[in-house]
Amino acid sequence: MAIREIRIVGDPVLRTPCDPVTTIDERVRSLVTDLLETVDMEGRAGLAANQIGSNLRAFSWNIDDEIGYVLNPEIVALSDEEYQDDDEGCLSVPGLWFPTRRSWYARVEGIDLDGKPVVVEGTGLMARCLQHEVDHLDGKLYLDRLERSVRKKAMRAVRELV
């Protein structure tokens, strides 16, 4: 398989909601391999399928020396009283980091390549990653979550980027 090129802000695939995986075939297995190999680099916390040009609902993560993936992820729980406002970045918006509010805890449910249920949950960076990647699969970028004043500055920086 291969380390795939990352799609950059402005590419319409990043704004297109991904389709659920309905059949686990060689195409899906190949996608998962590519997601795992492409996320397995320093400085990469997560990678959604549309970031490498696929329209299938899948993502991989690389947090605290743990690499994994999930198909058809859906957020099923978020902390509603505890938040984090750290800077967030994105492989599809290279070099730009902005404070982004996320829930401190997140839980995602999906399936694996055998069609078996998968639960991925965490706090801090893992929770941020889960929320960020599911946003990608829904056709959203972290830039969409920025406070108005920060978003203005961010969009100026994005225009210079592309």
Contact criterion met (CB below 8 Å) for 30 and 38: no
Active site residue 147: no
Measured distance CA(85)–CA(120) in Å, rounded? 21
Backbone angles phi, psi at 16, to 5 degrees: -105, 120
29: left (phi over 0), alpha (psi -120 to 50) or beta: alpha
Contact criterion met (CB below 8 Å) for 40 and 62: yes
Please name the residues in contact with 151: beta carbons below 8 A apart, sequence gap of 6 or more.
143
Q: Looking at 42, 74, 133, 147, which residue is catalytic?
A: 133
- Looking at the annotation, which residues are catalytic? 133
